[in-house]
Structure 1
């Protein structure tokens, strides 16, 4: 009898210990995940980004041509300045990471309005130029543009959009209407920041949600002036001069395995027209929209064999990239449609949604990975 009681007591203790362990594990799971009941009655486990971790990413941009110049003497120039801001935000809308750059792209013409620049050459952004940009020599604080852009981005981290928009600034001169007047920026940023603040605000306003686990943010870009042209008049057909700069921008969030958690693709296709005498005919103070901003106004849908405009195809391409690593994206199967379309997707998932040539957008994605922090 005593032996049987002893066995019973040991069994009861063991059962209560197991029950205690089970309760602890259940409690821990409840703390770290959010379980929702779906309409069909099954339980689906989802995770919510914590404060300070990446929940959304956005891409902002501001394009101007105000520094372009009519023909004077033996030179004219079309200059496109495209500010690019890739930003990551947490669930509360505060900046987690931000990358700022500026593609200052110039196309020169000679006295006969023939293109004088090497339009096939690589066009670098201010960050890519690094010390070659040459601001440090004239800087009162001895800092190059890329160093100042980084300092400005670092200042934004942890702040809300309203806090960033509320930055105190001073007008230095007509070319510098908004230089930071914040104590923690006066020794690190002397550039005028209105365009960069506008860029991060736009990134916030159009931010997209990304998959859980995003840890790094990258900004990639491919800049080309290859479609620029000089004046010609042959066989009764007159072609007027034009500086055309295409600035492809790719903002991407990556997880700790290097897989895409979310990406945004856009293209600023900016054209500056001249008459045959070298006078600029494009409104230098006009608004210059990207292909995504133009949306249906871009006009691809009419000619598209799949009835989709550029912004829709760019989104479909970005969606396809999510969950894949760079090598998988680079190995996308493509086919040559014609000389202008050398790499159209030949993947079953994309043939009904993407007919544009994707080589530059993949290159931009790869660059965003290489630049990710």
Structure 2
């Protein structure tokens, strides 16, 4: 279901792209088609210049009567040595909560993303192209290969957020406005992290229920939400991690005792909050969340999927604990999902 576009739009995407790709928040450090394949240019600049990896997230929440919705779009990007898009991977999560007049919260039964749902997300039958969500999202990603971030931000769309280029519409008829904006954010925050020509980019998401209670009372509201862990990775020809970016979002709706629901005006990820997240004082190694995330991502470099799966999540790995002491369980699952999506 399409939701009102209330928080992010074309103006934001264009503003983000006015910053250099290297500039970032203090906290900034990813199935379908292989959109992460290198563009294939043989120019000397692409061979020698550093490639960049980025992760962009757009989160919106809305409410109507006693129903609240959360929509999260994530984009992993790989920029080549000329700053052009070499690869994109997209995914989207839509979650709905409702409440009764007694304050009882009805939790979602499915926390899978559209990509994870596959054929369970019934788009193909209703599509004029007879293509599912992943096929169309990957076609949009392929359409962007070789374009600059500015060209992406200026992509012409109609009033419904759909592309106007016949070449794009022949493969993708879904609305892409949020995907474009997430890609723009990913390009704006992209960093030199070790990716190189020939690498492929992918994205993994792990979403879990984070609702504080099941019934709101006069004395206590319920925070009905989800914790979403996202990891963008680039992999070399041997399937080893060359770079990674990890982030988390914690969107939540407030449910009141009469069943009324209030959505937040804005949801920032932990990377976007940077030092404002306020973890440093409670950290045994005096690091903010984004620094723990960077440590986890650096620890992934050079590892295969089997080696990432073998990382203990109980804190028993001394080398990892020196870099990152936050819980890595869901980030590890997201990283494994991303690596499994590359074939």
- Shorter-chain TM-score category? 0.7 to 0.9
Residue 111 and residue 54 in structure 1: after superposition, are their counterparts in 2 closer, same or farther (change >3 A)?
A: farther
Matched residue of 2:93: which SS?
Answer: strand
Residue 180 and residue 231 in structure 1: after superposition, are their counterparts in 2 closer, same or farther (change >3 A)?
A: same
In structure 1, what is the equivalent of residue 146 of structure 2? Answer: 158
In structure 2, what is the equivalent of residue 83 of structure 1? Answer: 73
C-alpha distance in structure 1 between counterparts of 2:202 and 2:49, whole Å: 15
User: In 1, are the aligned partners of 2:104 and 2:259 still within 8 Å (CA)?
Assistant: no
Deviations 1:299-339 (Å, cap 9, x if unpaired)? 212222222111110111111111222222222244xxxxx
C-alpha distance in structure 2 between counterparts of 1:156 and 1:104, whole Å: 24
Matched residue of 1:251: which SS?
Answer: strand
Matched residue of 1:185: which SS?
Answer: helix
In structure 2, what is the equivalent of residue 97 of structure 1? Answer: 87
Matched residue of 2:219: which SS?
Answer: strand
Following TM superposition, by how much is the alpha carbon of 1:183 offset from its aligned partner in structure 2, in angstroms? 1.9
C-alpha distance in structure 1 between counterparts of 2:283 and 2:158, whole Å: 49
Matched residue of 1:192: which SS?
Answer: coil
More strand by share: 1
Match of 1:362 among 332, 335, 343: 332
TM-score, structure 1 as length reference: 0.74
Residue 182 and residue 332 in structure 1: after superposition, are their counterparts in 2 closer, same or farther (change >3 A)?
A: same
Instruction: Please show how residues 153-192 of structure 1 align to structure 2 within 5 Å.
Output: 153-171=141-159, 176=160, 178-192=161-175
Match of 1:135 among 114, 120, 123: 123
In structure 1, what is the equivalent of residue 234 of structure 2? Answer: 253
C-alpha distance in structure 1 between counterparts of 2:342 and 2:246, whole Å: 16
Deviations 1:92-119 (Å, cap 9, x if unpaired)? 111111111101122333342223235x
TM-score, structure 2 as length reference: 0.80
Match of 1:117 among 72, 92, 107: 107
In structure 2, what is the equivalent of residue 229 of structure 1? Answer: 213
C-alpha distance in structure 1 between counterparts of 2:101 and 2:126, whole Å: 31
Following TM superposition, by how much is the alpha carbon of 1:49 offset from its aligned partner in structure 2, in angstroms? 7.4
Match of 1:70 among 61, 65, 86: 65
C-alpha distance in structure 2 between counterparts of 1:227 and 1:103, whole Å: 17
Matched residue of 2:86: which SS?
Answer: strand
Uncovered stretches (5+) of structure 2, i.e. residues with no partner: 1-43
Larger RCO, structures 1/2 (Cα 8 Å, 6+ apart): 2
Following TM superposition, by how much is the alpha carbon of 1:296 offset from its aligned partner in structure 2, in angstroms? 1.4
Residue 49 and residue 129 in structure 1: after superposition, are their counterparts in 2 closer, same or farther (change >3 A)?
A: farther
Instruction: Please show how residues 1-373 of structure 1 align to structure 2 within 5 Å.
Output: 50=46, 55-66=51-62, 68-71=63-66, 77-117=67-107, 123-171=111-159, 176=160, 178-209=161-192, 210-212=194-196, 215-233=199-217, 238-283=219-264, 286-334=265-313, 343=314, 345-373=315-343
Uncovered stretches (5+) of structure 1, i.e. residues with no partner: 1-47, 72-76, 335-342
Residue 126 and residue 224 in structure 1: after superposition, are their counterparts in 2 closer, same or farther (change >3 A)?
A: same
Residue 51 and residue 204 in structure 1: after superposition, are their counterparts in 2 closer, same or farther (change >3 A)?
A: farther
Rg bigger for which structure?
1
Deviations 1:235-291 (Å, cap 9, x if unpaired)? xx93312211111110000111221100000001111112211222334xx221001
Residue 152 and residue 90 in structure 1: after superposition, are their counterparts in 2 closer, same or farther (change >3 A)?
A: same
C-alpha distance in structure 2 between counterparts of 1:238 and 1:227, whole Å: 17
